[in-house]
Structure 1
Amino acid sequence: MSTNTPDPRSPSARPVAVVTGASSGIGAATARVLAGAGFAVVCAARRQERVQALAEEIGGTALRCDVTDPADVDALAAAVGPRCALLVNNAGGALGMEPVAEADFDAWQQMFATNVVGAGRVTQALLPALRAAGGQVVFITSTAADASYEGGAGYNAAKSAERAVVGALRLEIVAEPVRVVEIAPGMVATEEFSLTRFGGDAERAAKVYDGVAEPLTAEDVAECVRWVASLPSHVNIDRLVVRPRAQAAQHKVHRE
């Protein structure tokens, strides 16, 4: 954990929010927005130096956490303590755009491990604390779960599976005071998403956004998280789909 910050387990502390994948992009933007909204934010990600710097910036807590590692997730739950007002399952991402005939199934397994099993594992670990706080769990999925596209089979499958987890969880705990929300962004231009997807090929990553006047930013998605978290406890946003105006559907993007 970071130093010189309040212990999120203290009864006098602000309501606790946990953001996974907080080292960059949507996760980092969400941590900043939630801190500004009055949450004590636990910034969790694999890259310790990055989340440490973020936590120091926003007065939060940093924790190195690989959501695919059971020991790391147990440590996260222990650090959070008995009450958690908000969990944002953001860790995940896409790898590759090969057609099925040329698929890298190791990459498929990695996407499934982070986007699906990782989100499920963190949710399971923090569910007692969410119940105690009458909290909320937000899954950052993708419009890739809406429709398949060429080269997207592995990511389409992972995000569709994550969406299935969201739906099942909501049914399973409907009698409990925990809200379950899915936010599904469309085209978001962040510093790492496409770069990671294309193995560091900056030119190929940049072409994803060629001619798109204003793709979404990480801050746009973070604002959606802040909004759903601000609603009264009896109001649940089952699924919020957010796209840039230039993207009418998964397959329809206006490029100038």
Structure 2
Amino acid sequence: RELETTLIRGDVGVRTTARLIERVRQGYKDGSLTKGEDVLEVFRAELKAMWPQADRSLHFAETGPTVILVTGVNGAGKTTSIAKLCNLLAGEGKTVLVGACDTFRAGAVRQLEIWADRLGVEIVRGQEGGDPAAVAFDACAAAKARGVDVVILDTAGRLHTQDPLMRQLEKLHKVIGKQIPEGPHEVLLVLDATSGQNALRQAEEFGKAAKVTGIMLAKLDGTARGGIVIAIREELGVPVKFVGVGETPEDIQPFDPDAFVDALFESDPD
């Protein structure tokens, strides 16, 4: 019961919690767990094992630019997360170019330009209201011509219920592939850690349109526990790659399952 309460309070969700609890019960039945074992510790270990290192690392192109497509709903923290990712990669010695493919939201291109200028990274932009696929194409072409290591493409924030915008993601995939056949190498979905169960629905729908390869969990610096990513991993197989823990470009960390799971349990007020 204590375990169940902790998981539900941590935003893991009822369905996934029930499935995980059933595994513990099954462990007692088949003898893999004994009555004397600390169930919480066994369970923590199982949750931590859900996130192998190979899944949590970015996959880079063997030759030429690596293309990272970043998507998410409005307000999730997408643009700030892109700035953090740029800063992280630049700190690793990689050259970065951003493509401002969010031509839909007023001010989005300018917002990204400000970040790019602050961080000293190149930017390719189009006009507000222009074709985002054309920006993606130009950004990939520029990256190849300039020998850039990583291209990060911003996309319009969209609700997972907005079919035309979701279809636009499919078009972006095709256009990127024309310039860089293996691209995009990563499709990162930015999720707000405070959004709870709605994040699972977002991951499901974005996964259909954009073949999501990883999660960037934003806004994990407050009371949010972000346990919904356990449900996303359990039900959709999508790993968390990074977490945002503040507002500055430095406030990004590679996902650490040990620290995450420990915090999930330690934040339980009971």
Please report the TM-score for the alignment, with normalisation by the length of structure 1: 0.44
Structure ID, larger Rg: 2
- Which has the bigger relative contact order, CA under 8 A and spacing at least 6? 2
